[in-house]
Homo-oligomer: A and B are copies of this chain.
Amino acid sequence: MIQKVNVAAKFQLFDDYWSPKIVGEVANLYLKTVKLNGEFVWHKHETEDELFYVIKGRLLIKLRDGDVTLDPGEFVVIPHGVEHLPVAEDEVHVLLLEPKTTVNTGDVSSERTVATLERI
């Protein structure tokens, strides 16, 4: 049976930050919900493009040659190979879209790395 997904309802199911949860898949990509708060780590994904779509709050994505600020209803695609640093001054709810092989910290291994994702 094909089930729809209510994005806001998914965000009510968890409270941890920087830990993406799988909420859907299309072809070889996962759609993930993630709550961000604070500053992440500079990293890049060698082969995976990554889309950030803001649902709630404001997200700053620092890039080596400029910054992007996203409000709700806005998205940006960070192409593979491009270093980026997500910064959330307050809590931000983000929908991520990226190849299934993507690890959240990319080429950097840190305490923030989440190797196995929960599906909610």
- A28 close to chain B: CB less than 8 A: yes
Expressed in whole angstroms, the Cα–Cα distance for A31 and B74 within the complex equals 13
CB-defined contacts of A8 to chain B, threshold 8 Å: 73
Chain A contact surface mostly = strand
- A41 close to chain B: CB less than 8 A: no
Residue count of chain A within 8 Å CB distance of chain B: 37
Contact B73 A2 (CB under 8 A): no
Contact B48 A4 (CB under 8 A): no
Taking CB atoms and an 8 Å cut-off, the chain A residues in 31-80 that contact chain B are 31, 48-51, 55, 63, 65-66, 68-70, 73-79
A55 shortest CB reach to chain B, Å: 8
* Chain A contacts to B: CB under 8 angstroms: 1-8, 24-29, 31, 48-51, 55, 63, 65-66, 68-70, 73-79, 82, 97-99
